[in-house]
Amino acid sequence: MSARVLDGNKIRDEIKADLASQIAGLKRAGITPGLAAVLTGDNPASQIYVRSKVKTCAQLGLHSEKIELPAVTTTGQLLDLIQNLNQRDEIDGILIQLPLPQQIDSQRVLMAVDPAKDVDGFHPINIGNLVSGRPGLVPCTPAGIIEILERSDILMNGARAVVIGRSDIVGKPVAMLLLHKHATVTICHSRTRNLASVAREGDILVAAIGKAGLVTRDFIKPGATVIDVGMNRLATPEEVRHVFDDPTIPLRELESKGYVLVGDVKPEDVKESAGAYTPVPGGVGPLTIAMLMVNTVRAARARRGMLLTAASQL
């Protein structure tokens, strides 16, 4: 029996449908949630991401502004812009697209964003709210992972969950969210001894370490739910052959596109060993932008003192 595919595109569409009705209700009350996306420099991947976020805002009826700054922008100039956005009432969410150019102090910039408008959920105040279980803006990818598990009826209460990766953006926050869902959580990383055997204890395995095909069948408890957060580009035939047992189709994709997108989990192994899994692409990725939209609407409500109704607790 093959593993169940957890379709991130389908879940994203469900969330967007829920959001659309909420946004329509807010607009009837004279409120249009607004997002400012700040893009500094000319990183091609960042340009694609910001374009997708602005496009999604338009689809849902949110106000959005794309602010593009040159690569030579200084930390001071970016801080001045953020101060201005913090003060603008029609802007509910501020997104600073990462990575920033090397000369910019990223930590100072992220700390300058008003926590009430920090729709990425990176500010220490929002991280503190997450840790203590208080309402706040939660990092988008971890929030999306919880949405996938909940909407796919994956039991978290009492489950053993193993998170591979300890980043501030994914690993740590998703571990905390799973803990709040009453899972028993283990965080692993590059220095964890006997990594495969620890991972194999997980009823839920979250792979977020950023290394293509690291997680093989030896890591996967038979029947476990595997959430693959990795987004890795394979650019050579050697890399493709290392990750795929049968590289025939991926090699054709490499020849036509110039790269093959894979996660942190070996695709063939997860299909054979897991009970359910998120594919790459089409798994966790689509949820990240959807949850950014959720955070923007949530920020708009919270900033106006509106109670978060059950329907808004996506």
Q: Which residues are catalytic?
A: 53, 97, 120
Helix (H, G, I), strand (E, B) or coil at 274: coil
89 contact partners, CB below 8 Å, separation of at least 6: none
Which segments of the chain does DSSP mark as H helices, in order?
A: 8-28, 44-60, 75-87, 106-112, 124-132, 140-151, 171-180, 195-199, 237-243, 248-257, 267-273, 285-303
Distance of CA 163 to the CA centre of its chain: 14
Helix (H, G, I), strand (E, B) or coil at 27: helix
Pick from 214, 163, 205: which is nearest to 187 by CA? 163
> Please, are residues 221 and 197 in contact by the beta-carbon 8 Å criterion?
no
What pairs with residue 144 in β-bridges? none
- DSSP symbol at 251: H
What pairs with residue 187 in β-bridges? 163
DSSP state letters, 189-237: -TT-TTHHHHHTT-SEEEE-S--TT-B-GGG--TT-EEEE---EEE-SH
Pick from 302, 282, 291: which is nearest to 19 by CA? 291
Count CB atoms within 10 A of the CB of residue 14: 14
Helix (H, G, I), strand (E, B) or coil at 290: helix
